[in-house]
Chain A
């Protein structure tokens, strides 16, 4: 089985930290990051660190996962609308599927996304959990 090491390595900033981009010309922020602004076609684009807070826009629960994800079953995959605007697809964690609701406030955490068997690469990345009250 190919572990696709170069692809995982390239995506690590976006995946570990939810790093997208910001257009210096029209002010748009987007995720995943692009070299050219999808709104105004400007190339004046810089890296942008998202705050990691948002709301559940839509979701569905997975019972028959692709290979590498079986240990998390059942789990919920959601379309999360970040406070800054962009929509991100991510797995929800620290929540039972029956407790997920549309519009539920969520926050980003970095977790294991999958592993390539017991002897292969562990892939880490963002997931979202129900938001906690601030300290």
Chain B
């Protein structure tokens, strides 16, 4: 699908907190051995004064710098997340106010597990594409939590990205088309008032991630009449390293196409932020004319796929803010005790 007016990305920005905990440190605490075939090298951990609001503010600042537009020109601030600071009270109004966006703006928090951000991005393309707004900002940002000792604890990271949508003639990457594919699948969920999520073990792989990612991606390729060889870069949702690499092979993309946007080995699974921050790492590298394919995944379950073509504007715009790799490479390693304190893993009665 695509809107009636040609649209694209006019700005983008990333954020990752500075703390990292090695997966071997988590294995040392829970399994007594460090070399336990851990799924990633390290994951990012937010500092005690960070949350989805503060992280979104910095990513959005980077996106505004790259777009070079006045904050008051942004007509929507949509934060996709599953780790809102407040259960009731939008994160997006805090982000908008901190950036000087509004008060004449739309603001909302979006939910769809790890595809909350790309769902917001689809809507942003629609709003700008219909002529209702000149610019709309979609964010995917999370500070994911895994139950101590659970498999998810090795990968549940923190970070994400902000993308500003505008008209194609102002864009650094033009949208060719997008697609969405959803089914009711109980692969992962968290009930109200529960601190940690549940995952349906037998559902996480084949019927969930691969079913949706492969169907959405193949559908978009077919709709555009294109093959993986037409693209320079591909980005998938990255709950670990194994799943996106397997999706890459299954669709006929190559390792070279996926590695630039595959950040989960260093920062973990940033949930709603994962595919979008991977996209920002690609935008930092891609050349004018390059084609970029993105497919997200959110439990519950569904995928959004997007096809972009880079324009000449990318070369200068990318230099206006800090690169995604600068955030990825920022690294203050902490041990499990410090991590436990920052993430409130210890309950004091």
Tell me the complex Cα distance, A72–B47, Å: 9
**CB of A4 within 8 Å of the partner chain:** no
Determine which of B99, B100, B319 lies in contact with A135 in the assembled complex, contact meaning CB atoms within 8 Å.
B319
**CB of A17 within 8 Å of the partner chain:** yes
Q: Assuming A17-B100, A135-B319, is B326 touching A111 (CB within 8 A)?
A: no
Establish whether residues B47 and A17, one from each chain, have CB atoms under 8 Å apart when the complex forms: no
**CB of B18 within 8 Å of the partner chain:** yes
Establish whether residues A132 and B54, one from each chain, have CB atoms under 8 Å apart when the complex forms: no
Task: Report the contact-size class of chain B (Cβ under 8 Å from the partner).
Answer: 20 to 34
Q: How far is the CB of A52 from chain B (nearest CB, A)?
A: 10
Against A, the Cβ 8 Å flags (1 = close, 0 = not) of B305-338 are 0000000000000011111001000000000000
Against B, the Cβ 8 Å flags (1 = close, 0 = not) of A107-126 are 00111110000000010100
**CB of A98 within 8 Å of the partner chain:** no
Tell me the complex Cα distance, A135–B48, Å: 26
Q: How far is the CB of A18 from chain B (nearest CB, A)?
A: 10
**CB of A57 within 8 Å of the partner chain:** no
Against A, the Cβ 8 Å flags (1 = close, 0 = not) of B74-103 are 000000000001100000001001111000
**CB of B57 within 8 Å of the partner chain:** yes
Determine which of A17, A49, A110 lies in contact with B54 in the assembled complex, contact meaning CB atoms within 8 Å.
A110
Establish whether residues B94 and A124, one from each chain, have CB atoms under 8 Å apart when the complex forms: yes
Establish whether residues A135 and B47, one from each chain, have CB atoms under 8 Å apart when the complex forms: no
Chain A residues near B48 (CB, 8 Å)?
A: 71-72, 112
Establish whether residues B323 and A16, one from each chain, have CB atoms under 8 Å apart when the complex forms: no
Chain A residues near B54 (CB, 8 Å)?
A: 109-112, 124
**CB of B49 within 8 Å of the partner chain:** yes
Tell me the complex Cα distance, A127–B47, Å: 13
Q: How far is the CB of A56 from chain B (nearest CB, A)?
A: 18
**CB of A21 within 8 Å of the partner chain:** no
Establish whether residues A124 and B326, one from each chain, have CB atoms under 8 Å apart when the complex forms: no
Chain A residues near B321 (CB, 8 Å)?
A: 135
Give residues 93-115 of A contacting B (CB, 8 Å). Answer: 93-94, 109-113
Chain B residues near A135 (CB, 8 Å)?
A: 319-323, 326
Chain A residues near B187 (CB, 8 Å)?
A: none
Establish whether residues A112 and B98, one from each chain, have CB atoms under 8 Å apart when the complex forms: no
**CB of A12 within 8 Å of the partner chain:** yes
- B54 to chain A: closest residue by CB: A111
Chain B residues near A71 (CB, 8 Å)?
A: 48, 341
Chain B residues near A113 (CB, 8 Å)?
A: 49
Chain B residues near A72 (CB, 8 Å)?
A: 48-49
Establish whether residues A112 and B50, one from each chain, have CB atoms under 8 Å apart when the complex forms: yes
Establish whether residues B58 and A109, one from each chain, have CB atoms under 8 Å apart when the complex forms: yes
- A125 to chain B: closest residue by CB: B98
Establish whether residues B97 and A16, one from each chain, have CB atoms under 8 Å apart when the complex forms: yes
**CB of B53 within 8 Å of the partner chain:** yes
Tell me the complex Cα distance, A109–B94, Å: 14
Establish whether residues A127 and B49, one from each chain, have CB atoms under 8 Å apart when the complex forms: yes
Chain A residues near B99 (CB, 8 Å)?
A: 17
- B322 to chain A: closest residue by CB: A135
A-B contacts, 8 listed (Cβ < 8 Å): A12-B97, A93-B47, A110-B98, A111-B54, A112-B49, A112-B54, A122-B53, A135-B321
Q: Which residues of A contact B (CB under 8 A)?
A: 12-13, 16-17, 49, 71-72, 93-94, 109-113, 122, 124, 127, 132, 134-135
Nearest 4 interchain pairs by C-beta: A16-B98, A111-B49, A112-B49, A135-B322
